[in-house]
Amino acid sequence: MYKIGVIGERATVAGFIALGYTVHEAETAADAAKILHTLAGENGEDGYAIIFVTESLAKQIGGDIAKYDGAVMPAVTILPDGAGEDGGLSYGMERIKRNVEVAVGADILFRD
């Protein structure tokens, strides 16, 4: 059975416990990066298939997340957390746009 983990601030990630996900609270980028690498299985244990990271922390640990961009597992996904002027969507959407461009060779996501 594949495992799903969530990394982020308490207020954002607490609800994921009800879904059966493994939730890890992280208030700093250093904590989030350490948890990310642990969940990815870098300590020799079985890694998680999917790891969600809140957008505000993902912005700070982008280099750590990029390490897993080409990997089949784990799939690291950004959770919008409502932070920022746009409601927390710009960083996650930019990552999706970049990944789609790599996959298909063109920008197919149109914005108004």
Structure confidence by residue, pLDDT tens digits, 22-76: 999 998 999 999 999 999 998 767 889 999 999 989 999 999 999 998 888 899 9
Residue 34 is predicted with a pLDDT of: 96
Q: What is the CA radius of gyration of the chain?
A: 14
Of these ranges, 14-28, 77-91, 92-106, the one predicted with the greatest mean pLDDT is 14-28
The structure tokens listed for 100 are 């789609």
CA–CA distance, 94 with 5 (Å, rounded to integer): 22
Structure confidence by residue, pLDDT tens digits, 18-35: 999 999 999 899 999 999
Structural domains for the chain? 4-81 (3.40.50.10580)
Residue 103 is predicted with a pLDDT of: 66
- Parallel/antiparallel/unpaired status of strands 50-54 and 4-8: parallel
Residue 2 is predicted with a pLDDT of: 87
Could you tell me the pTM of the whole model? 0.79
Residue 110: band (very low, low, confident or very high) from pLDDT cuts 50, 70, 90: low
DSSP labels, 31-89: HHHHHHHHHTTTTSSPPPSEEEEEHHHHHHTHHHHHTTTT-SSPEEEEEP-S-STTSS-
